[in-house]
Structure 1
Amino acid sequence: MRGSIGSMLLDRLRHCGVSRIYGVPGDYNLEFLELIERTPGIRFIGTCNELNAAYAADGDARLSGVGAVLVTYGVGDLSALSAVAGACAEGVPLVVISGMPPLHAVQSRALVHHTLADGDFDNVMTCYQQFTAACTRLHPASARVETDRVLDRMHTEKRPVYIQFPSDICYVETDIPTLAPAMPVSDPALLVRAAGRLAERIARSRQPVVLVDGMVRQYGLNDQVERFCQHFNIPYAALSTARTQLAETGSLWLGQYGGAASAPDVAAYVHGADCVIGLGVRFVDSTSGYFSQRIAPGAMVDVQPFSMTCDGENIQGIRAQDLLDAVMQDRTPVTPPVRNPWRAQQETAPAVASAQGGGWTQAIFWQRVEQFLRPHDVVLADNGSSMVAMLHAHLPAGCSLLVQPVWAAIGYSLPAALGACLATPHRRHVLFIGDGSFQMTAQELSTLLRHKCAITVFLINNGGYTIERMILGPQATYNDIANWDYAALPTAMGGDAGPLCLRVQDRAELEAALDQAAANQGLTFMEVGFTPMDAPAGMAAMGQAVRRYDYGIDTPDLP
């Protein structure tokens, strides 16, 4: 079969599962955009800027499996790069396509716009090579081979890839053989060896535990890991990067693990375990309570996507999913079930305070918001108060929590919500974002309205960067921001979409607003006001940990 290079690229993207491409038009990608307009099964979603486009593709990919971004060379590339780096840090597969100047301009080193006007067309590629699994510049003679190579790397490593697409080759013809991406296969002998080592460790353990990290989402291991834990009756805990990837109910669910930031019963169980099966675990500062994890010496069995380290032996050439399957074959449960410590806490926890009377605080707000959430909601929370609160929340069954604790870019969640809404329009979406984070990417609220996304947005207005105030400068002006009329913005950005705009300053207003939000079928935007130092439980301790690690001081202010 023959077709154009542009058609070949779109065909390959559809084979990978891409049905939406986010981005911004530019003079070097317009012909490719024309082709997208005429291609069934794939559509272009225009965003307000390239940074937001890549965030939206990230949010889409976390639910659909893969995301795609289209930018124009130079200015668009570098605008998107921070979000692409975030996807790399968090293991999110994205395809970034850059419409670049024509090959004749590249080959003649022409001094064209969107470059440094020095004839160098390699500097942008050099930037992207630091934050992607693979990069390429398409040429007619090798376009198909190079496209397949980089998409295979994305499929295997679950990280972003980058394709430069010269503007003058979109309709150059090439061969387009059918291709389906395939994962590497495990070495049979090494798989048997690894499964035996893991089974032996489980059999001789007194207190095993499974720690789940982002690898489970990346490689779609959710159901398989649950079966593994149930087969051996091994309790499991999730790092913040893997919340909601496994069922958060039942006797085997311990809770979220983050070192000293964990619930006491969760920390006690993990720290007392003599066999810790880590599934893709990386102890990052923000996921480990600032390196306060305490794993018993020799207890860790480190399972990564294509390797396992157990008792000092590293075995390569095996897939994690094959290992889990192999170790369950013909092996019976050997570990007794455990009591769920979170369930015990819930049974003895005081009832949520009534909305009638008492002070207005974030503690009251977050307790009440937990009751607002429904099973199977998609919940997004931005870095700061919102993420801290949601990582400590008990989420209903089937919820998906989208957070970015490793790259931790404020503003991520709003454009990511666009991608999530378009990826799963049949689910209800709820976004929690602070005022400082919102101001980073506020433009994409207009795109949510343009596409008539059904989402409830809680804007936490506490007058600036509360998470930074908890670290240093609680009264400092550098943590202040302009106080926008937030609740008026949705109408200004997309009044024809009929957004429901609400303001909440106390408990009674919150109750009324939640009732309206629950009944609304479109976009609900709720501005919720608090004082600058009001924060969810855990933020003060986190600020103290950050302060000690970053600055080596205990006091909240420098002398």
Structure 2
Amino acid sequence: MSTTYTVGRYLVDRLGELGIRHIFGVPGDYNLSFLDTIIEHPGLEWVGNCNELNAAYAADGYARIHGIAALVTTFGVGELSAVNGIAGSRAEQVPVVKITGSPASKIAEEGRLVHHTLGDGSFDHFSKMYKEVTAAQTTLTGANAMEEIDRVLRICWYEKAPVYINLPVDIHALPAKQPTEPLLKEEPLAPINSINQMLETLIPVIEKAKSPVILADYQVSRFHAEGALKKLAEATGFPIATLSMGKGVFNEEHPQFIGVYSGKTSSDYLRNRVDNADCILSVGVRLTDSITSGFSQGFTDNSIIHISPEGVNYREIKFSNLSMEETLNQLAGGLKKRDAQSLNIIPVTMQQKEEPFYVAEDHTLTQKRFWEMVRLFIQKNDVVIADQGTSFFGAQSVPLKENVTYVGQPLWGSIGYTLPATLGTQLADLSRRNILLIGDGAFQLTFQEISTMLRENLHPIIFVINNDGYTVERSIHGPEAPYNDIKMWRYADIPSVLGGYRNFKSYKTTTEGELADALKDMAQSQDVLRFVEVVTQKMDMPELLTVLGKIFAAQND
């Protein structure tokens, strides 16, 4: 082990300072010696992935639970394999540090025709590509390394966006000075006059409203404002709904929670309560097609007070440089509390009649029954990861218990994302039970990472919904078209094929009774990875997806 303090050690020390404990990636000759620095670090663990795309997905999942993540690939072939995952992190505001080990500085300066390049002597093609999907980029040199590392890591943390660090193979071993100042500094409080102006303007508007509602989305969790959101809701008594991208940012068992709003596909009560609200406190919301059923929301911008990480907007009035957390706390302290009856609050727990649950042992499994049974299986403090497609739209309708974290990717929508992401979410917090819900088509894209889970001795629960192909695409166009078909696999055998021995249990379920037996057994077998193949009919899909398929088909015309 080198006794000289180096640029590489400075970088990994700063990553550790941000709380990162695991670094994902794939080795390559341009990053190998830097990987030695990671391995030698007492606070970091290297987690090698099956490919770079999976590493990027795993880092994204880790960051959603842990707050920030990092991955390392080699130049060109490795970093381009990861770029899709990093683009998803940019789209959905997930802070990930992407580190590329690249050829030596002199080789790049001389334009030599080395491997993993396009053979044209240019070494900046790929960093230019990353400029489009990251918030900050840098190529480290002996002169700029420490300042540039600090600059891009601060941007990653504060802006909640991925950043790109190009680390030439000859730079990481250069001597550096140990940091003497903390990387993150306490964020300055908003000027008191800005806060007062905001309160003086908005409190009369909110107090005047007869049917106010809070609508929350995923930025609440990205910017760690869940506690402030709860404080505002309970201080005002207002009903609160989320969008599916922000599902779980507010306790769905809370008496003020009225549901997951999705535009015209929402329940009648929820849709009327949100669309006809005369004041919507919109907290961290970005309206996209997949979470609004094709932009079918019925409210207008005139009724919305936008509370974002950058500030507050109401009609033509803007208050900048107010953090989301500070804004919510200040409003909570200035608004009067109202009662549930006057606000017409029907909590989601009372909107559906609770039917006695039974298992029809020999009945073939259907999507409807599967989601009813999963609803009972999910417990407090679980992490639920739902892949885009059948799984996401089925899970959207499942009410979550207290402190359940919900992970999906409805904006970027890259199928297969969630399986490697589950590797990341589980490593981010080993104390929580992770439940992955993924379709067979998505599973076939990234299934290799189960081998990494087995190697790391992780114990997630994986449900693979085998409905014989790309059901989302079938719902939109070509239900019998060959391009929506996939090869049928023996899914329940996959953990064994990928190296599992005694650290997994696998189940294949085709009936309600078989699924019920598997769920019961899994509750007892908590020290192994659990893998469940759930067989349903090809065109069986959640009710929401049936409607959305028609909406997306019309949108594509």
Place the TM-score, normalised by the shorter chain, in its bin: over 0.9
Q: Which residue of 1 aligns with 2:384?
A: 379
**C-alpha deviation, 1:185, in angstroms:** 4.1
Deviation string, structure 1 residues 236-273 (Cα, Å, up to 9, x no partner): 11111111111112221111011112222111100111
Identify the match of residue 424 of structure 1 among 408, 426, 429: 429
**C-alpha deviation, 1:168, in angstroms:** 0.5
**C-alpha deviation, 1:353, in angstroms:** 4.7
Deviation string, structure 1 residues 448-492 (Cα, Å, up to 9, x no partner): 111111111111111110111001111111100011111111011
Confirm whether residue 528 of structure 1 aligns to residue 534 of structure 2.
Answer: yes
**C-alpha deviation, 1:164, in angstroms:** 0.4
- Contact 2:468 / 2:538 at 8 angstroms: preserved in 1? yes
**C-alpha deviation, 1:383, in angstroms:** 1.0
Identify the match of residue 17 of structure 1 among 16, 19, 37: 19
Q: Which residue of 2 aligns with 1:177?
A: 180
AA in 2 matched with 1:39: H
Identify the match of residue 309 of structure 2 among 305, 308, 319: 305
Q: Which residue of 2 aligns with 1:279?
A: 283
Q: 1:219 to 1:297 in 2, by over 3 A?
A: closer
Identify the match of residue 332 of structure 2 among 328, 348, 351: 328
**C-alpha deviation, 1:178, in angstroms:** 2.6
Q: Which residue of 2 aligns with 1:555?
A: none
- Contact 1:450 / 1:497 at 8 angstroms: preserved in 2? no
Q: Which residue of 2 aligns with 1:449?
A: 454
The 5 Å alignment of 1:218-257 reads: 218-257=222-261
Q: Which residue of 1 aligns with 2:480?
A: 475
Q: Which residue of 1 aligns with 2:204?
A: 200
Q: Which residue of 2 aligns with 1:270?
A: 274
For the residue of structure 1 that corresponds to 2:476, the secondary structure is: coil
Identify the match of residue 299 of structure 2 among 282, 295, 299: 295
Confirm whether residue 548 of structure 1 aligns to residue 550 of structure 2.
Answer: no
**C-alpha deviation, 1:76, in angstroms:** 0.9
AA in 2 matched with 1:325: N
Q: Which residue of 2 aligns with 1:557?
A: none
Partners of 2:535 and 2:332 in 1: how far apart? 51
- Contact 1:58 / 1:416 at 8 angstroms: preserved in 2? yes
Structure 2: segments with no counterpart, 5+ residues: none
- Contact 1:252 / 1:338 at 8 angstroms: preserved in 2? no
Q: Which residue of 1 aligns with 2:396?
A: 391
Number of matched pairs = 550
**C-alpha deviation, 1:497, in angstroms:** 4.2
**C-alpha deviation, 1:326, in angstroms:** 2.3
Which range moved further: 181-190 or 267-276? 181-190
Confirm whether residue 408 of structure 1 aligns to residue 410 of structure 2.
Answer: no
Identify the match of residue 134 of structure 2 among 125, 132, 135: 132
Partners of 2:500 and 2:217 in 1: how far apart? 41
Q: Which residue of 2 aligns with 1:436?
A: 441
Q: 1:185 to 1:28 in 2, by over 3 A?
A: farther
Deviation string, structure 1 residues 409-462 (Cα, Å, up to 9, x no partner): 100110000011111111111111111000000110101111111111111111
**C-alpha deviation, 1:337, in angstroms:** 5.2
For the residue of structure 1 that corresponds to 2:149, the secondary structure is: helix
AA in 2 matched with 1:181: L
- Contact 1:487 / 1:502 at 8 angstroms: preserved in 2? yes
Partners of 2:502 and 2:105 in 1: how far apart? 43
Deviation string, structure 1 residues 61-94 (Cα, Å, up to 9, x no partner): 1111011111111111110000100011111100
AA in 2 matched with 1:96: K
Structure 1: segments with no counterpart, 5+ residues: 552-559
Partners of 1:444 and 1:408 in 2: how far apart? 19
- Contact 2:199 / 2:334 at 8 angstroms: preserved in 1? no
State TM-score, norm by structure 1.
0.95
Q: Which residue of 2 aligns with 1:215?
A: 219
For the residue of structure 1 that corresponds to 2:53, the secondary structure is: helix
Identify the match of residue 488 of structure 1 among 493, 515, 525: 493
Confirm whether residue 89 of structure 1 aligns to residue 91 of structure 2.
Answer: yes
- Contact 1:6 / 1:32 at 8 angstroms: preserved in 2? yes
Percent identity for Structure 1 against Structure 2: 36
For the residue of structure 2 that corresponds to 1:396, the secondary structure is: coil
Partners of 1:296 and 1:60 in 2: how far apart? 36
Partners of 2:58 and 2:240 in 1: how far apart? 31
Q: Which residue of 2 aligns with 1:26?
A: 28
Partners of 2:294 and 2:334 in 1: how far apart? 40
Q: Which residue of 1 aligns with 2:194?
A: 190
AA in 2 matched with 1:83: G
- Contact 2:134 / 2:161 at 8 angstroms: preserved in 1? yes
Q: Which residue of 2 aligns with 1:49?
A: 51
**C-alpha deviation, 1:209, in angstroms:** 1.0
Deviation string, structure 1 residues 495-551 (Cα, Å, up to 9, x no partner): 234311111111221122212222112111111111210112211101000000012
- Contact 1:197 / 1:310 at 8 angstroms: preserved in 2? no
Partners of 1:255 and 1:502 in 2: how far apart? 33
- Contact 2:361 / 2:514 at 8 angstroms: preserved in 1? no
- Contact 1:300 / 1:310 at 8 angstroms: preserved in 2? yes
Q: Which residue of 2 aligns with 1:340?
A: 346
- Contact 1:243 / 1:256 at 8 angstroms: preserved in 2? yes
- Contact 1:252 / 1:337 at 8 angstroms: preserved in 2? no
AA in 1 matched with 2:349: R
Q: Which residue of 2 aligns with 1:510?
A: 515
Deviation string, structure 1 residues 360-417 (Cα, Å, up to 9, x no partner): 3111111112111211111111111111111111122221111111111100110000
Structure 1 stretches of at least 4 aligned residues deviating more than 6 Å after TM superposition = none
- Contact 1:56 / 1:416 at 8 angstroms: preserved in 2? yes
Partners of 1:127 and 1:445 in 2: how far apart? 30
Partners of 1:91 and 1:59 in 2: how far apart? 12
Partners of 2:402 and 2:320 in 1: how far apart? 36
Deviation string, structure 1 residues 35-74 (Cα, Å, up to 9, x no partner): 1111111111000001000100111111110111111111
Partners of 1:190 and 1:164 in 2: how far apart? 40
For the residue of structure 1 that corresponds to 2:500, the secondary structure is: helix
**C-alpha deviation, 1:195, in angstroms:** 2.7
- Contact 2:382 / 2:435 at 8 angstroms: preserved in 1? yes
